[in-house]
Every structure is written in structure tokens, then in C-alpha cells.
Structure 1
């Protein structure tokens, strides 16, 4: 997938919308080697959320929460319909996922998922995505959705499909680059 640009320095993201209609039969096993922990974050401070959001999302030009003031961000991430879990590797934060549960019982969404650059390429993504999928299915939605685009890791779409998601729609959006 190629990153497209417009004449004004904006990026064109080609989005693949994916769904899963039943939970996978098995979790992906935790990789051997480093000490791993996946912890649910409750009442996460805005500064820690911003750190994770920037570390994971900057390279992919994540946009929705990039410039939100604390007064708008905190109600979103502390909502009862939001679940955030953080992956730690040998004690360091290595990534996070965020679930949007506001459309239950019909649908749950993995709204954010990713690893920080220091922990990419270590064989952690498949395990961590499996954790996100099973966390979402614990809320018993009728379907689980996730979205990826051409600004994400080129391996994201393959990973999502290997774990059990299937594309159901495609779209495009213009994104302001994160400098």
C-alpha cells in the first residue's frame, strides 16, 4: 500500500473496514522471552494517554485525539463505554488498545491498537491483538469491527485478517500530516 498525498501536503488514507462476527476459537499464546503484562488502565492520566497515543500513532498520522484539550479527552477515555489496556514489556509501556463499547450490544470497536516503535518487529503484535479481540468479545457484541488504512503499518491488514477479521467496506479520507 502506498501513502498518497494531495497537492496541499495533506495525505489520502484509503481505509479498509473489517469485521469479525464470532470470536476466534483460541487466544494467541504469549510469546516466550520478555516479561509481558497486559493491564487494564482505569482513570488514566491525560499525559500518559497522550504519550501512548503519540508514540503509537504519530508515524501513522492518527488524528482524532491529537489536539483534544484535556477537558474533552478525559471524558472520552474515562467513559464507562471505553476500555483501554496497555502492554508492558519488561516493565516498559510497549503499546495500547482502546475499545469503544458505546454501540453495544450490536457492535464493539477496536478504535486504537498498536505498538510503540521500540517494540515493533518483536513478534508481539499478534499476541496483543488477540488480547484486544478477546477483551472486546468479553462484552458479547454481535460483531467486532476494526479499521486500518494505507497510513498504518503495511502489515496491519494482513495481521487483522490472520486473526479473523474480514473486510466489509472501503473508503477514503484526507488526513493532515503529524509533523
Structure 2
């Protein structure tokens, strides 16, 4: 993004809450009845597909950071063995994804989690978050963490808490909105 585009972009304020879980839950929510669902781990994700997922899940919630990464930066992140991305499919079509990072042997970070707009309101979020939590604990860390902010879905903080995460810290931050032109440029490079 050029300096001119950056300066013209609107900035949004947000309260960011960091949450942690220090032991895996003993029970995971069952999948919703009657929905044809699959969660697949993607070990070699093309850059354009990652950007598509990120944009479709996060556009309404002002996710912009990953769209501003260069191809080289994003490729390094996706190829890093510490990164684990799993895509939710609903009736054969992408419906959401989660991204986990394991910065060390003792911690797992839920970097991104969300559903696409057509999947919201269908009773999938709790079950899908349970799948993300299960994946996060697969390597036996001492804790799992996630951050959410006041720009995310209004139910996000409550859902994380219902699933066993506890708030440990809050901070103020800001997000620079992408203009339609900057978003298009990021998605179609």
C-alpha cells in the first residue's frame, strides 16, 4: 500500500482482550445435526486462497493485517512448521477457517478463527471453536491463547469465555481500514 493510501485510510479504535486457557476442556461440543461438514488441515495453502479465506471471514470485522503482507512474508508464514491452518467446509464449500501458531513447545496461539457470513447463525461457531481448541492442544502445550477485539463479532468474547478461555489482559489498539481499491489490490496481486 502506498503512503498516500495509508494516510487517507480511516482508523478505527478497538479494545483488545487477550484470553488464555491453561488446560484442555474435558468435553467438546458435538457437530450440529443435519449439516454436511468437514474440517480439513491445509499443509500447502496457495497465497490467493489464504487471502480469500482471510478476507471472506474477516472483512466485516475489519481484519486487514494479513492482506498487507507481501507475498514473501505471507508465504514464509504459511510454510512455517509452527503454523496450522484448518478450513471448514459446509456442503462442500468453504465456510470458515482457523489458524494456529505454536511459537514454542509450551504455547499455542489461536491467531485467527471465524466463519464466513453464509455460515454465521447456523449453530456452527461453538462446535468449530471446539475443533480449533482440540487442534490447539494436540501438541500438549501448557497454555493456549487468543485475542479478540471490540471490532470482532459481538458474541466472540462471550463464546471464548464459554469455551474455557479467561481474560488476562486488555489494551487499546487501532486498525486502519482498507479502501476498496487497497483491498482489491491485496486480493488480486
Deviations 1:49-86 (A, max 9, x none): 01000001111111321121211101101210000000
Q: Distance in 1 between matches of 2:89 and 2:174?
A: 33
SS at match of 1:66: helix
Unaligned runs of at least 5 residues, structure 2: 1-8, 180-189
Let me know the Cα RMSD of the aligned residues.
1.1
Q: Distance in 1 between matches of 2:22 and 2:178?
A: 34
Q: Distance in 2 between matches of 1:114 and 1:78?
A: 21
Deviations 1:11-35 (A, max 9, x none): 0010011000000001110111121
Q: Distance in 2 between matches of 1:23 and 1:178?
A: 37
Q: Distance in 2 between matches of 1:79 and 1:33?
A: 36
Give the TM-score of the pair, scaled to structure 2.
Answer: 0.88
Give the TM-score of the pair, scaled to structure 1.
Answer: 0.93
Q: Distance in 1 between matches of 2:161 and 2:91?
A: 29
SS at match of 1:22: coil
Greater fraction of residues in helix: 2
Q: Distance in 1 between matches of 2:48 and 2:173?
A: 28
Q: Distance in 1 between matches of 2:42 and 2:10?
A: 36
Q: Distance in 2 between matches of 1:44 and 1:140?
A: 25
* Equivalences, count: 171
Unaligned runs of at least 5 residues, structure 1: 1-7
Equivalent runs, 1:95-174 vs 2, <5 Å: 95-102=96-103, 104-174=104-174
Q: Distance in 1 between matches of 2:106 and 2:171?
A: 22
Equivalent runs, 1:74-113 vs 2, <5 Å: 74-102=75-103, 104-113=104-113
SS at match of 1:44: coil
Deviation at 1:175, TM superposition (A): 0.8
